[in-house]
Structure 1
Amino acid sequence: MALRLPATMRVFERGWLSSNNVLFTGPHSALVDSGYVTHAAQTLALVDHALEGRPLARLLNTHLHSDHCGGNAALQARYRCHTLIPAAEADKVRAWDEDALSFRSTGQQCPRFAFDGALAAGDTIELGGLPWQALAAPGPDPHALLLYCAAEGILISGDALWENGFGVLFPELAGEPGLREQAATLELIDSLHARVVIPGHGAIFGDAAQALARARSRLDYLAQDPRRTAQNAVKVMLQFLLLERRQVALAAVPQLLASIPLVERARLQYLGMEHAELADWAVRALVRAGAARADGGVLLLA
């Protein structure tokens, strides 16, 4: 059975590297999350087509990972839209501190964008003619927000909950707590009893209880050994590079991974591997998972 959304809501389910986008129509149109920079043209095309020539009034970000805000600059150039970001990120964006914003530490791109206001946990905002509450969702990002509409039982969960897991717990790799925060965020989501969940990646779903059970199982698995979070992050960041570039020379993988500060921290602090050993492990892990294939000295998407 199809999951019912209000007539003023539309979800663009995007493929990696981009996050999903949620478009609210009506007198004060708004887009939640803008995808990755290399998909910005597609983001503009989707929004343009859906709005049928009307302007986009507002742009919001659940958090500022590059795959959720990489299209901000392009949307701002097209629409001059009023942009709201999580309040805790305001100073970093104002100064455009790419280290503090995680773009440099993850080896990812994000064109500079501006913002007009901030959204904090506890704030309520009108989207599509309905009230949405912002809720703190630390975990993959310490300053992330959920957006919840109690009137419709709809949760926009970002990277805090997907149908089959959640995002990489980057704070753990930076020496900050992430497992405990993610557990608390899952508890908060459970208390909402959402009818529909719109995740940051993947299809929308209605069985939040089953998704939460899978997420908790995954969290328990990661908590048993700190190397597991590090291994997951290395695999995800290599896959991200591969998706961005389409192919990578196998001989270049050690240096590519060494150039990403979070990967290097994971290697030194948790994994204890030499560069070549880590690269070989990561390549084999992607191939074993069916996400990539090695052919003629080149790593390719499967």
Structure 2
Amino acid sequence: MKLPESVQVIERGWLSSNNVVLHARTGSVVVDSGYGAHVPQTLALLERVLAGKKLARLVNTHCHSDHMGGNAAIQAKYACRTSIPEGETALIDDWDEEALILAIADQRAERFNYDDSFRDGDTLQMGGFDWQVIAAPGHDTHAVMFHSPEARVLISGDALWENGFGVVFPQLFGRDTALAETRATLEAIARLDVDVVIPGHGRPFGDAGAALERAFYRLEGYEEDITRLARHCAKVMLSFAMLEKRCMPLAELPAYVARVPILAELNSRYLRMAPAAMVEWLLNDLERAGALRRENDMLVATGS
């Protein structure tokens, strides 16, 4: 498994998406900018990878906080052109914090402007290759992927990871077709000629077929029982918040879970647990998964 020399991946963790830097004589392009709390780290990593090269363009696979949170800071430093998926433009114009899953999930991103947009079927020149823009609805209704047939590389965003895909938020909050769209997106990936997948989170990987098999298996579970997706979403929301906070007094957790709108709504719509039972379930499951640990009277995040 080998990437073209012009394509560099800055592998991050779960709070910040990976940053994909594609170099060309006309200027470099960065795909996705990470989370706002990681802006100093993102700028330092980007400066190191650019090594004096011009950053001409910033591109987003979709506009969730962990993928667009560094946009404003990168724009301020590099004055680069910014391009986003066409379907996200109204949300960014209005800065719709509910649709962008910001305040309702206790997440943040600095508001930014964009210069242009792209849609399914467009072609972008990045890193000396033509990249086809492919719609990837599911995790985000307006998300896209970038595929280079020549390089045989797919920048998949959160549509496909080595072990799964991003939470299918729209299915839980009013878009009844989102799981079907997720399936269609995975089927579209299966039709591509790909040697390397660069996911939004995790290392680049070569065996797309095995990753798709795991993704379809997970999807089938959600299709059979929507509460599985709701439970997964609740755990992801709390673990993401803890990655930013790093620690929290255990005594404050019940009030936190009660006041974060997305957690309260998941419980009201799907989980229907007593508040104390929901908190204990979240703690036990996330501790068992290794995402959190209890230290005396504190809750501590273990990942990045």
Q: TM-score, normalised by structure 2?
A: 0.96
What is aligned with 1:81?
A: 80
Name the aligned partner's letter for residue 62 of structure 1.
T
What displacement does 1:47 show? 1.2
- For residues 171 and 235 of structure 2, what CA distance do their matches in structure 1 show? 15
Contact 2:72-2:111 at 8 Å conserved across structures: yes
What displacement does 1:295 show? 2.1
Name the aligned partner's letter for residue 239 of structure 1.
S
Deviates more, 1:254-263 or 1:85-94: 254-263
What displacement does 1:41 show? 1.0
Contact 2:135-2:142 at 8 Å conserved across structures: yes
What is aligned with 2:184?
A: 184
Deviation sequence 1:95-116 (CA, Å, 0-9, x none): 2221222212222110111100
Contact 1:154-1:194 at 8 Å conserved across structures: yes
Deviates more, 1:249-258 or 1:182-191: 249-258
Deviation sequence 1:216-257 (CA, Å, 0-9, x none): 011111222111111101111110111101111222222222
What is aligned with 2:284?
A: 284
What is aligned with 2:173?
A: 174
What displacement does 1:262 show? 2.0
Contact 1:250-1:297 at 8 Å conserved across structures: yes
Contact 1:10-1:24 at 8 Å conserved across structures: yes
The count of residues paired between Structure 1 and Structure 2 equals 300
What displacement does 1:193 show? 2.9
- For residues 98 and 291 of structure 2, what CA distance do their matches in structure 1 show? 29
What displacement does 1:203 show? 0.7
What is aligned with 1:134?
A: 133
Name the aligned partner's letter for residue 284 of structure 1.
N
What displacement does 1:290 show? 1.6
Name the aligned partner's letter for residue 205 of structure 1.
F
Report the identity percentage.
48
Query: Is the counterpart of residue 8 in structure 1 residue 6 in structure 2?
Result: yes
Name the aligned partner's letter for residue 23 of structure 1.
V
Deviates more, 1:76-85 or 1:168-177: 168-177
Report the aligned-residue RMSD.
Answer: 1.1
Contact 2:27-2:53 at 8 Å conserved across structures: no
Deviates more, 1:207-216 or 1:219-228: 219-228
- For residues 105 and 85 of structure 2, what CA distance do their matches in structure 1 show? 20
What is aligned with 1:217?
A: 217
Deviates more, 1:160-169 or 1:252-261: 252-261
Q: TM-score, normalised by structure 1?
A: 0.96
SS across alignment from 2:104? coil
What is aligned with 2:110?
A: 111
What displacement does 1:6 show? 1.5
SS across alignment from 1:238? helix
Matches within 5 A, 1:1-302: 3-26=1-24, 27-177=26-176, 178-302=178-302
- For residues 278 and 246 of structure 1, what CA distance do their matches in structure 2 show? 21
- For residues 213 and 235 of structure 1, what CA distance do their matches in structure 2 show? 23
Name the aligned partner's letter for residue 109 of structure 2.
C
Deviation sequence 1:179-226 (CA, Å, 0-9, x none): 111111000000003111000010101100000000001111122211
Q: Which stretches in structure 2 are left out of the alignment for 5+ residues?
A: none
Name the aligned partner's letter for residue 82 of structure 2.
T
- For residues 51 and 255 of structure 1, what CA distance do their matches in structure 2 show? 44
Deviation sequence 1:148-178 (CA, Å, 0-9, x none): 0011111000011000111111112212132
The 4+ residue runs of structure 1 with deviation greater than 4 A are none
- For residues 138 and 162 of structure 1, what CA distance do their matches in structure 2 show? 15
Deviation sequence 1:119-153 (CA, Å, 0-9, x none): 11111010011100111101111110010001111
Q: Which stretches in structure 1 are left out of the alignment for 5+ residues?
A: none
